[in-house]
Structure formats: C-alpha cells, structure tokens
Amino acid sequence: MKLRVFVTLKPGVLDPQGEAVRHALGALGFEGVNGVRQGKMIELDLAETDADKAQQQADEMCQKLLANTVIESYRVEMA
C-alpha cells in the first residue's frame, strides 16, 4: 500500500529555506512572488494492505519520526 506524507512548517514558524528560494526567484527575474514555504513529501510503500491500518501506521511514523510536531504539521494521503 502506497501512501504520501506531507510535512509542512506550522503557520508562524520561520522558514529560512523558503525565504532563500524566494530571494533566488527574485534574483532570477521572477516578479510577484509574495511568499514561498518549503515542506517535505515522503512516499511510503508499506506491506500493510488494509487502508485504515496503513494510514494509522503512517500516522504513528509521523508522530515518532517524520514530523517534529512542535513546529511541523503533517497530512497523510493514499497515493
């Protein structure tokens, strides 16, 4: 069962990586870029075949490893 996990910084948390991208886009001549936020996408291929159980497993992985829940939020979806 394949799942996708999206990890993003919570609103209000500074995103220096996104800011760097924004500056670089400006330097390349792209105008009208109001904001850039960078997050992670993690594609999981799990042996679990039950959709609910796989989602639950992915959720636990996020809590324990994939996301820092103090500053990041995450979302799990079926691929």
Closest to a copy of itself by CB, 37 or 55? 37
- Of the candidates 12, 16, 32, 52, which one interacts with a copy of itself according to CB under 8 A? 32
> Interface with a copy of itself includes 48 (CB under 8 A)?
yes
The Cα 37–Cα 18 span in angstroms is: 5
The token pair at 4 is 């996708």
Gap between the terminal Cα atoms of the chain: 8
Identify the residue whose tokens are 């500056």. Answer: 23
> Interface with a copy of itself includes 47 (CB under 8 A)?
yes
Closest to a copy of itself by CB, 14 or 41? 41
